[in-house]
């Protein structure tokens, strides 16, 4: 059995050959900080060769899955007078690398979304093999509304939702709930309460148990080789948007609780 790494912003629970990675920043709605991304990455790297771990559950403490990338980090980058472009690219590549690790993990992966799955968290939900959602969970790709682009998560959103639905959601940034996510085919299982949620998890574990671990790993490799992912290009596009006047004002408007300049009445 692999020795699990020490983590700062994740709680790791290994039980009956399943690893649960709990995002543990409830005071920040489990936003994806550098530390949390590093925790996820180091954990996935540690168990990459371990076929005794049959599956991985991604969950959030405090009744919230994840609020996406930590906007405090982005705020520091957009206000930086030096190396802003380099910092933006570095941040985007870190996140993109983790999304790719999740997608290519040889174990069966499941997102269990409660509360919210926003922006980057939306990408995690789409990158896993299965998505279980609470009916009242909230989803949104909010990037274009604050002058950004969902560059790193776009391939996973497109693969899960299909071109037409993904295009609408990525361009307009509308929010929707878990019930709607299930109806549009984004979520695989829908739960109305915790009892139903746990029932779905137990049922899924039983299904995975019937499948050979190496066969799952090889099949996932075949699937991932048919996905087009370009983290470097995505990072460049993301950083360009972040440091554009739209991106800077978009983030400022978020923290100042006002509309960005392109969404004012006189425009």
**What is the per-residue DSSP string for 171-226?**
HH--EEEHHHHHHTTS-SEEESSHHHHHHHHHHHHHHHHTS-HHHHHHHHHHHHTT
pLDDT digits (tens, 9 = 90+) for 128-162: 999 999 999 999 999 999 899 999 999 999 999 99
Higher pLDDT, 3 or 74: 3
Strands 108-113 and 116-118: unpaired
pLDDT digits (tens, 9 = 90+) for 53-111: 999 999 999 999 999 999 888 888 888 878 899 999 999 999 999 999 999 999 999 99
- Could you give the dihedral angle defined by the CA atoms of residues 257, 116, 35 and 228, in that order, rounded to the nearest 10 degrees? -110
pLDDT > 70? residue 267: no
What number is the average pLDDT over the span 234-240?
85
Phi, psi (rounded to 5 degrees) for 139: -125, 145
pLDDT > 60? residue 113: yes
Give the pair of three-digit tokens for residue 142. Answer: 């909010």
Taking CA atoms, 31 is separated from 12, 15, 119, 171, in Å, by 17, 25, 10, 22
Report how far residue 161's alpha carbon sits from residue 147's, in angstroms, rounded to the nearest whole number: 23
Report how far residue 216's alpha carbon sits from residue 89's, in angstroms, rounded to the nearest whole number: 33
Query: How is the chain split into domains, by residue range?
Result: 10-193+213-224
| pLDDT score for 266 | 60
pLDDT > 70? residue 5: yes
Q: Evaluate whether 56 touches 110 at the Cβ level (below 8 Å).
A: yes
Nearest to 52 by CA among 20, 87, 85, 19: 19
Average pLDDT, the chain: 93
Q: Evaluate whether 132 touches 112 at the Cβ level (below 8 Å).
A: yes
Higher pLDDT, 11 or 254: 11
Residue 38: how many other CB atoms lie within 10 Å? 17
Report how far residue 90's alpha carbon sits from residue 16's, in angstroms, rounded to the nearest whole number: 37
Report how far residue 38's alpha carbon sits from residue 95's, in angstroms, rounded to the nearest whole number: 9
% residues pLDDT > 90 (the chain):
76
Q: Helices (DSSP H) in the chain: which residue ranges?
A: 34-46, 71-78, 84-104, 120-127, 154-161, 163-172, 178-183, 194-209, 213-224, 231-243, 245-256
Q: Which fold has domain 10-193+213-224?
A: 2-enoyl-CoA Hydratase; Chain A, domain 1 (3.90.226)
Helix (H, G, I), strand (E, B) or coil at 17: coil
DSSP state of 4: P
Give the pair of three-digit tokens for residue 210. Answer: 């019937």
Nearest to 92 by CA among 166, 160, 23, 150: 150
Nearest to 55 by CA among 3, 132, 109: 109
């Amino acid at each position: 059995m692999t020795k699990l790494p020490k983590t700062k912003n994740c709680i790791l629970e290994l039980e009956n050959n399943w690893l649960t990675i709990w995002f543990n920043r409830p005071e920040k709605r489990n936003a994806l900080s550098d530390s949390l991304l590093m925790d996820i990455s180091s954990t996935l790297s540690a168990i990459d060769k371990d076929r005794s771990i049959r599956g991985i559950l991604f969950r959030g403490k405090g009744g919230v899955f994840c609020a996406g990338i930590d906007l405090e980090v982005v705020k520091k980058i957009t206000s930086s007078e030096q190396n802003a472009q380099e910092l933006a690219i570095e941040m985007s590549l870190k996140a993109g690398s983790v999304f790719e690790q999740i997608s290519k993990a040889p174990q069966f992966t499941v997102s269990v979304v409660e509360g919210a799955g926003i922006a980057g968290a939306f990408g995690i939900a789409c990158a896993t093999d299965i998505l279980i959602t609470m009916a009242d969970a909230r989803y949104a790709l909010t990037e274009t509304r604050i002058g950004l682009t969902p560059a790193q998560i776009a391939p996973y959103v497109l693969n899960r939702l299909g071109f037409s639905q993904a295009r609408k959601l990525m361009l307009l940034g509308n929010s929707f709930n878990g019930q709607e996510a299930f109806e549009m085919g984004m979520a695989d299982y829908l739960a109305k309460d915790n009892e139903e949620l746990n029932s779905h998890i137990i049922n899924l574990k039983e299904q995975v148990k019937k499948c050979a671990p190496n066969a799952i790993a090889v099949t996932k490799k075949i699937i991932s080789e048919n996905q087009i992912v370009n983290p470097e290009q995505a990072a460049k596009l993301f950083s360009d948007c972040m440091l554009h006047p739209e991106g800077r004002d978009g983030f400022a408007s978020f923290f100042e609780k006002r509309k960005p300049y392109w969404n004012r009445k006189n425009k």
